[in-house]
């Protein structure tokens, strides 16, 4: 089975996709440098909106130019019966960007999503693994190698995936985009291109660097500066989907919840730093968050953990 996910099948007529959707998605991928995951989600948002617009009396003779703010309020109201609030917010974000793109290019006079209210999102604490759980997860590739259930290349490559996700707090898109030229083996850090094409320096940790050096020296097909760090057995760059499957494999091996994603290792990285006394601003820089408020959600997790410890240990709790 290929490690790359198949291209999604569009639910939109080819002529509509070619005229309206594909130029917008190309702009997101090539100029805005959005991740493939975000581009895929925006495609799904457009397809859902298009199908919604074709049902009942919602179709407009003048196409996308005919939609009003009232129409979009109806879309949001109806969407609340079909999607979670988070998914609905993500869909509307993509559709706002779509209409804004064509408005700025003169094909649409207005953005009908402007001013459309959305249901409030509940504040949920991010899921994360304990330090013991992370250690068990990261030991998985070596365990399979010792059992003879994985070859050396796969075991060390998979261990490198897990160590970089946790040791560097990388997003999956940042991980698969990492090239050898971005690694500073002297300082044990990497130049990472994150969201919004913002570059930051990420310390990777001594363990991750040791695994990276071994993989480079013994298994990398061609560790020249422009070449990817994480590759398939054929030497192709590893895909986001392949990383997701790798993480699922070792979650199952460690008997950990299967709904945990690679991003949860990033959550664990941030939570463990804060639990150990790291400065919030420093963690913000390490994660590449534009706003401190995004990082502060991890302090809530840390406080929840402290309350749990207090409840178990204090005689007056």
| pLDDT tens column, 117-143 | 998 876 555 577 888 999 999 999 999
List every span in the chain annotated with CATH 1.10.443.10: 131-312
pLDDT category at 306 given cuts 50, 70, 90 is low
List CB contacts of 272: < 8 A, sequence separation 6 or more. 128, 131, 134
Query: Is a pLDDT exceeding 70 seen at residue 212?
Result: yes
pLDDT category at 228 given cuts 50, 70, 90 is very high
List CB contacts of 110: < 8 A, sequence separation 6 or more. 103
Residue 69 and residue 116 in contact, taking contact as beta carbons nearer than 8 Å? yes
Query: Is a pLDDT exceeding 60 seen at residue 198?
Result: yes
Query: Is a pLDDT exceeding 70 seen at residue 150?
Result: yes
Topology annotation, domain 131-312: hpI Integrase; Chain A (1.10.443)
Query: Is a pLDDT exceeding 70 seen at residue 265?
Result: yes
Please indicate whether residue 303 or residue 234 has the higher confidence score (pLDDT). Answer: 234
Give me the CATH code for the 14-104 domain, please.
1.10.150
List CB contacts of 58: < 8 A, sequence separation 6 or more. 52, 71
Note the pLDDT of residue 92: 95
Cβ of 238: how many Cβ atoms within 10 Å? Answer: 21
Enter the tokens of residue 315. 């005689």
Residue 83 and residue 115 in contact, taking contact as beta carbons nearer than 8 Å? no
Catalytic positions, please? 171, 195, 263, 266, 289, 298
Distance, in Å, from the CA atom of 37 to the CA atom of 244, rounded to the nearest integer, reads 12
Looking at residues 184-213, what average pLDDT do you find?
87
pLDDT digits (tens, 9 = 90+) for 274-298: 777 777 777 777 776 666 665 566 6
pLDDT category at 114 given cuts 50, 70, 90 is very high
Q: What is the DSSP letter of 104?
A: H
List every span in the chain annotated with CATH 1.10.150: 14-104
Query: Is a pLDDT exceeding 70 seen at residue 243?
Result: yes
Distance, in Å, from the CA atom of 220 to the CA atom of 226, rounded to the nearest integer, reads 13
Looking at residues 260-286, what average pLDDT do you find?
79
Average pLDDT, the chain: 84
pLDDT digits (tens, 9 = 90+) for 65-88: 889 899 999 999 999 988 888 899
């Amino acid at each position: 089975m290929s490690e790359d996910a198949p291209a999604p099948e569009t639910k939109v007529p080819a002529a509509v996709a070619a005229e309206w959707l594909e130029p917008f998605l190309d702009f997101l991928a090539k100029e805005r440098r959005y991740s493939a995951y975000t581009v895929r989600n925006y495609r799904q948002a457009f397809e859902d909106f298009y199908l919604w617009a074709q049902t009942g009396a919602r179709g407009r003779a003048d196409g996308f130019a005919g939609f009003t703010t009232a129409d979009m309020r109806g879309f949001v109201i109806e969407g609340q019966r079909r999607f979670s609030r988070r998914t609905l917010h993500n869909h509307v974000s993509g559709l706002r960007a779509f209409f804004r793109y064509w408005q700025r290019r003169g094909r649409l006079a207005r953005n009908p999503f402007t001013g459309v209210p959305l249901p409030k999102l509940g504040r949920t604490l991010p899921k994360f693994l304990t330090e013991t759980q992370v250690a068990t997860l990261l030991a998985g590739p070596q365990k399979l190698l010792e059992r003879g259930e994985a070859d050396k290349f796969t075991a060390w490559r998979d261990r490198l995936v897990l160590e970089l996700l946790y040791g560097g707090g990388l997003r999956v898109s940042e991980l698969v985009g990492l090239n050898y030229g971005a690694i500073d083996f002297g300082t044990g850090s990497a130049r990472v291109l994150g969201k919004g094409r913002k570059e930051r320096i990420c310390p990777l940790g001594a363990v991750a660097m040791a695994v990276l050096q071994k993989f480079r020296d013994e298994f990398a097909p061609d560790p020249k500066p422009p070449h990817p760090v994480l590759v398939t057995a054929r030497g192709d760059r590893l895909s986001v989907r392949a990383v997701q499957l790798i993480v699922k494999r070792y979650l199952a091996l460690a008997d950990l919840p299967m709904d945990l994603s690679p991003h949860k290792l990033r959550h664990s990285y941030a939570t463990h730093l804060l639990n150990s006394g790291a400065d919030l601003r420093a963690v913000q820089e390490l994660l590449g968050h534009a706003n401190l408020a995004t990082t502060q959600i991890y302090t809530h997790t840390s406080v929840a953990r402290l309350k749990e410890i207090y409840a178990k240990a204090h005689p007056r709790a």
